[in-house]
Amino acid sequence: MTVPHSDTVEDLLRLHAPQVLGALVRRYGHFDAAEDAVQEALLAAARQWPGDGVPANPRGWLIRVASRRLADALRAEQARARRERTALRLEPRETRAAPAEDDTLTLLFLCCDPVLAPAARIALTLRAVGGLTTAEIARAFLVPEATVAQRISRAKAKLRDRPFHPPAPRDRDARLASVLQVLYLIFNEGYTATSGPALHRGDLAGEAIRLTRAARRLLPREGAVTGLLALMLLTEARSAARTGPDGELIPLDEQDRTLWDRAAVAEGTALVEEALTEGPPGPYQLQAAIAALHDEATGPDTTDWPQILALYDVLVTKTPDPMARLGRTVALAMVEGPEAGLAALTALEPGFPHSHRLTAVRAHLLERTGAHTEAATAYRTAARATQSLPERRYLQTRAARLSG
């Protein structure tokens, strides 16, 4: 087989890692030990594949190597007879055909086991399935990094010897809600990376969309799943227009809308209409409807801001997410003027203790009122608070422009 470029190997490993972990956990349990075994298999592949070529069945190769590592690890624990007996059953087998249900979804539901607290389910899934670092998860949750590390460690400890069972009917809705929240957070990290030199991480956004499509195939009449997929498609459709030739951030009202993916917009809009017929609208359906209004507008001046504000008024009654309230404030400012938006921002400050986003919105509204000195100061404050280099450069540029 042709020797692949290193990026191809890295892409393959990123694609298969959660599926391999899901397969091991589904077959053998031992979440924590399985995760270690998968990491060892990934390292082995990273060393061997660039020179030897990618095997015909890379996923099967990884499962086989990880199974060996897991068996070796369990055998080493001689003090526990039960684990030794389990290890005897873990001899590598010939590669099996992939199951009908994606093992990544199996892993998602495992990470959302009711034995875990909601915050721990989400943090563990982002780490195991999304591949995010602890710091990235902390920023997504607006909580200290140490808190997230503790959640992940405790979650792994609880799942260590717990066999996987599909969710029972009585807890299905709660498990599904947790899974969808995780997918949404993974997508958000991909669409607007919280750190690093790139604004957009297409691998994460694409993986979130892929998994949400898979969830919808399993649950085709679930309004929340349909709404979340619509929201992702309508949002990702703008990605090509969000950055300039040098990677600089371009805000929504300045984007070249001819660069938007109209096929994704059409699919997302159709899904919104479908989702709104599948029971009372929840947060994902409402956010998708807002995104559809943005995407259907030919420009900033034709955006239906009164309708967007009306949808936000409903959305904030459905979710405690502070970003929903911040979005409503922006819509309020577009309908009633920047002064109304600035007055509404004060009440939102407790929800954004470690985030630059509220300060950036304040800077924008101050600029619209003509308070350029105060706006420049707010832009610089927001720039210091973000870990995203494109966002930082954008905010610094706005501040410099106002400062002459």
Supply the angle between the helices 103-111 and 172-191 in degrees, to the nearest 10: 110
Alpha-carbon dihedral sign for residues 148, 153, 154, 160: positive
Question: What would the pLDDT profile of 99-111 be if each residue is shown by its tens digit?
Answer: 445 577 778 888 8
Phi, psi angle pair for 171, to nearest 5°? -115, 10
Residue pointed to by tokens 């400062």: 403
Task: Please report which helix (H) or strand (E) contains residue 387, including its range.
Answer: strand 387-388
Name, of 154-163, 187-196, 294-303, the range with top average pLDDT: 294-303
Structure tokens at 285: 């359906």
Question: In angstroms, how far is CA 191 from the centroid of its own chain?
Answer: 8
Name, of 32-41, 93-102, 144-153, the range with top average pLDDT: 144-153
What is the C-alpha to C-alpha distance for residues 345 and 349, in angstroms, rounded to an integer?
A: 7
Residue 95 pLDDT greater than 50, yes or no: no
Q: What is the pLDDT of residue 229?
A: 98
What is the C-alpha to C-alpha distance for residues 388 and 194, in angstroms, rounded to an integer?
A: 5
Amino acid (1-letter code) at residue 113 = D
The count of residues in the chain is 404
Question: What would the pLDDT profile of 288-300 be if each residue is shown by its tens digit?
Answer: 999 999 999 999 8
Question: Which pTM was predicted?
Answer: 0.78
Q: Name 387's bridge partners.
A: 195
Confidence of residue 309 (pLDDT cuts 50, 70, 90): very high
Residue 240 pLDDT greater than 60, yes or no: yes
User: In the 8-state DSSP scheme, what is residue 301?
Assistant: G
What is the C-alpha to C-alpha distance for residues 116 and 118, in angstroms, rounded to an integer?
A: 6
Residue 116 pLDDT greater than 80, yes or no: yes
Residue 133 pLDDT greater than 90, yes or no: no
Question: What would the pLDDT profile of 243-254 be if each residue is shown by its tens digit?
Answer: 999 889 999 999
Answer yes or no: are the C-beta atoms of 261 and 280 closer than 8 Å.
no
What is the C-alpha to C-alpha distance for residues 83 and 68, in angstroms, rounded to an integer?
A: 15
Confidence of residue 77 (pLDDT cuts 50, 70, 90): low
